Amino acid sequence: MTENDTAQEWAAGLTDMSWINDAFDYTCDTMQRSILFMDTLRKRGNLYFEHIDKNKPPVLTYDYDLITDGRKLSRPVNYALVRIISDEENCVTDDRKRPVVIIDPRAGHGPGIGGSKRDSEIGVALKKGHPVYFVQFYPEPVPGQTIADVKEAEVEFVKKVATLHPEADEPAVIGNCQAGWAIALMSADRPDVTGPIVLNGSPMSYWAGKDGQNPMRYKGGILGGIWLTSLLSDLGNGKFDGANLVWGFEDLNPANTWWTKQYNLFAKIDTEEDRYLNFEKWWNGYFFMNTEEIHFIVENLFVGNRLEQGRVKLEDEKTIDLKNLEDPVVVFASSGDNITPPQQALNWIVKVYKTEEELKRCKQVIIYMVHESIGHLGIFVSGKVAKKEHKEIIGNIDLIELLSPGLYEMVIEDRETEVGVDDYKVSFVPRMFEDILAFDDGLEDEYAFEPVAAISEFNDKMYKTFAQPWVKLITTEQTAEMMRQSHPLRASRYLFSDKVNPLMLMFPALSEMAKKDRKKADSDNPFMHVEKSISKTVTTSLNLYKEARDNSLEFMFKAIYENPVMEALFPRPETGDLAGETEKMQDASDRAAAEADEKNWINSMKKGGFAEGLCRIMVAIAEADDVIDRSELLRYQTVAKSYPVFAKKRRSEFREMIKAQARILQTDKELALKTLADLLVTRKEREKAIQTARDMAFADGNYAPEEKVLIEKIEGLLEL
């Protein structure tokens, strides 16, 4: 039905006087919906107090057992390790399978959102038989705890999980949102502890983004940097209120915050209440950080962007370099994410490794996947995402260690079955750095953030010198608590609670009356169309305000930081001779490392025997058509179990052998194939190797021409 048709029906209704009945029905429906809506807000307000009274526990739908309380560690922190209890008959975990450790973000809210539904990361891992552990945190930080302390606690948690599963591979660690950079720090510092890591919607490159699309990155520069965080921490009497972080997220989409979310509840009040309250239970709780913690995060990450630059220092002047990551990394992002856009989730890869060859030289495997439209929370909350993307990420967590070093995109395709689409085909497609950079509109705009970091440090020093003593002088715990309770996000909840507002006491009874005699207006009621049109107008107006505000923010940022004066104060590095010489030295160092690496693998080509030759052939066949299917990786495991030569090798040793042969092929494929004859000495060994090659080629059910050509070539080289 078009708008013209609706208008004609509206006019016709006015002439035949049926509008009087429509108006009566709509008025009755609206009054009842208003009562039910206000009662839902009352329940939300009461839920806010109930959550506080229970000390804001995780909003997990699963029961759990406490394993390690971080508050009792030698370096105490407000974190704890718990084991999720599988309470479904079809979810039987195997302690010999790789354990999965899930960490939720400490970004203002409490923990548990990643497991607030049955269809979640936790649910998927349990159904796959993995032991699942969860790292939760408490509302109040331990006095004096730092990010370094938190990192050490997480290391202890992962080590504890490993000791509980001695027969299993190293734990896989999943970090949601802000927890992503935390586990990246931990794994880069202690690569011996973790297995594969998964970064879901995790910001790693804070300066990245597209012009006109990612305004959040400009806020630090417009507000003068970190000094404001120091001020808010001082006003909080040494603690930073997480509600301030949540306020920043809410402000990104004012239409949803101030209208759409509420109107959706009002319009669908008969069916939406439970879903709304379940989400608000998590959104209600605000957690705190010590001044040192939030200062570290803002200075090193949000403003300084030091993580991708390898300049983050935790303790003892130890610098964390992401190039130290040894285990596979899976990055899951979304183009619909307005908090962590794909550029901020992925650009660190090209900054850390510079070239694909350097990535391979480090024997690193990085896999990325970019959803087309899901929002930020949907990445680790949506049930649809859990059933597809997270199901395949966790389902392939063991296999990705068998991939050759390099950059891949994980491609998930629907696979038709007799009962419909209930299965997926997973493949790993080799990618270039250009594929990552294609998500961005260039890296040149990031230079303007260099002076932001410098000015931020200056402003913070000025604040601490001249203003901080006075702020601390007038701040007490009482004034800090008054400021917390007056925060709009808290006030908008508790003011509707009947524990605070006596006017809300009438709504339980009114709500029961409305439900008992509920009269809904028809969907074709013209007044309903008017209501929806008004809602669209309000949403459009707020979106226009958002666009104007964001465009103004970007314009102001560029006017301040992209002008001749600022460029004169902070000249680009390439304009200086010293910088140029430094870059030449780095390039020379890279070339020397590349030459040494190449020499090492060439010298290794004739080392080994049947096992090494078989692995080399398998890798070559798997990569022949430039697409590595899950079925081919499974074939690796089948071969490892079927040949006695691999029987005495641990799984980690087999993976290292695969990776070594992959590097040999990447160094000089032609020479690597020619030297197979030095590894496969007897005719029997060569025939077995060729049969394995054919099995590998048919593993995905498709004998690709590239695979056929390669097998024939290997047969010729082996004189078969």
Tokens, residue 220 = 């630090």
DSSP string, 422-439: EEEEEEEEE--HHHHHTT
Q: How far is CA 14 from CA 18, 27, 261, in A?
A: 7, 17, 33
pLDDT tens figures, 124-136: 999 999 999 999 9
Q: What is the mean pLDDT of residues 386-401?
A: 93
Alpha-carbon distance of 639 to 655, in angstroms, equals 12
**Does residue 418 register a pLDDT over 80?**
no
Mean of all residue pLDDT scores within the chain = 91
Alpha-carbon distance of 293 to 583, in angstroms, equals 34
**What pLDDT, on a 0 to 100 scale, did the predictor assign at position 168?**
94
Tokens, residue 385 = 């995402």
**What pLDDT, on a 0 to 100 scale, did the predictor assign at position 4?**
60
Could you tell me what percent of the chain has a pLDDT over 90?
Answer: 74
Q: How far is CA 603 from CA 361, 657, 664, 671, in A?
A: 15, 15, 9, 11
Continuous segment of H or E residues that includes residue 172: strand 172-176
Backbone angles phi and psi of 111, in degrees to 5:
-85, 165
Cβ neighbours for 371, distance < 8 A, ≥ 6 positions apart: 332, 333, 334, 335, 336, 379, 385, 389
SS3 563: coil
**What pLDDT, on a 0 to 100 scale, did the predictor assign at position 703?**
82
**Does residue 13 register a pLDDT over 80?**
no
By C-alpha distance, which of 86, 165, 89 is closest to 122? 86
Domain ranges of the chain: 64-207+305-403, 605-717
pLDDT tens figures, 629-679: 999 999 998 888 888 888 888 888 999 999 999 999 999 999 999 999 999
Cβ neighbours for 362, distance < 8 A, ≥ 6 positions apart: 323, 353, 405
Alpha-carbon distance of 338 to 381, in angstroms, equals 16
Cβ neighbours for 439, distance < 8 A, ≥ 6 positions apart: 335, 341, 342, 343, 346, 370
SS3 196: coil
Q: Which pairs from 551-558 meet CB under 8 Å and 24+ separation?
A: 551/212, 553/215, 553/218, 553/219, 553/222, 554/211, 554/212, 554/215, 554/218, 556/218, 556/222, 557/218, 557/221, 557/222, 557/448, 558/448
pLDDT tens figures, 452-511: 999 999 999 999 999 999 999 999 999 999 999 999 999 999 999 999 999 999 999 999
Task: Give the position of tokens 């006109």.
Answer: 212
Flag the least confident range among 162-166, 264-268, 422-426, 497-501: 422-426
Other CB atoms closer than 10 Å to residue 652's CB: what's the count? 11
For the chain, the farthest-separated pair of C-alpha atoms sits apart, in whole angstroms, at: 97
Q: What is the mean pLDDT of residues 585-606?
A: 84
**What pLDDT, on a 0 to 100 scale, did the predictor assign at position 116?**
79
pLDDT confidence of 569, banded at 50, 70, 90? Answer: confident
- Name the amino acid, one letter, at 202: S
**Does residue 547 register a pLDDT over 90?**
yes
Q: What is the mean pLDDT of residues 247-257?
A: 92
**What pLDDT, on a 0 to 100 scale, did the predictor assign at position 419?**
47
pLDDT tens figures, 328-347: 999 999 999 989 999 999 99
- On whether the CB atoms of residues 528 and 27 are closer than 8 A, the answer is no
**Does residue 588 register a pLDDT over 70?**
no
Alpha-carbon distance of 464 to 458, in angstroms, equals 10
- On whether the CB atoms of residues 247 and 297 are closer than 8 A, the answer is no
In the CATH scheme, what is the code of domain 64-207+305-403? 3.40.50.1820
Q: Over 273-325, what HEC string results?
A: HHHHHHHHHHHCCCCEEEHHHHHHHHHHHHHCCCCCCCCEECCCCCEECHHHC
DSSP string, 121-138: HHHHHHHTT--EEEEEE-
628-629 vs 172-176, strand pairing mode: unpaired
Helices (H) and strands (E) in the chain, counts: 34, 15
Alpha-carbon distance of 485 to 488, in angstroms, equals 8
Flag the least confident range among 104-108, 241-245, 408-412, 616-620: 104-108
Other CB atoms closer than 10 Å to residue 123's CB: what's the count? 24
**What pLDDT, on a 0 to 100 scale, did the predictor assign at position 591?**
81
Q: Which pairs from 295-302 meet CB under 8 Å and 24+ separation?
A: 295/226, 295/229, 295/230, 295/233, 296/146, 296/147, 297/147, 297/178, 298/220, 298/226, 298/229, 299/226, 299/456, 299/457, 299/460, 301/181, 301/203, 301/206, 302/206, 302/220
